[in-house]
Amino acid sequence: MLSLESTNSRMSRNGKNELMLGEHRSLDDIIIKIDEVTEDTVNELANQIFTKHSLSLVSPLENWDK
């Protein structure tokens, strides 16, 4: 948190916020949003993103045709 308060870091964060969000968020606002994250919200988002299952198999190439 302390490293984010240098002039360069603050101006960089303000610029990114303006370009990406159209607003400036304070560090307190960011901390509040982070603290609002729960295990349930993470699981819900993961279920939305990873809707299909996949499987990878690693095997020696010489046994591929057997």
pLDDT score for 44: 92
Of 10, 36, 3, 37, give the one whose Cα is nearest residue 25.
10
When pLDDT is cut at 50, 70 and 90, the band that residue 64 belongs to is: low
Dihedral class, residue 20 (left if φ above 0, else alpha if ψ from -120 to 50, else beta)? alpha
Assigned token pair, 9: 């870091």
**Looking at residue 64, what DSSP letter applies?**
T
Cα 44 from Cα 51, distance rounded (Å) = 11
Of residues 37 and 51, which shows the higher confidence score? 37
Q: Is the pLDDT of residue 42 over 90?
A: yes
Mean pLDDT of 36-61: 84
Of residues 36 and 11, which shows the higher confidence score? 36
pTM of the entire predicted model = 0.50
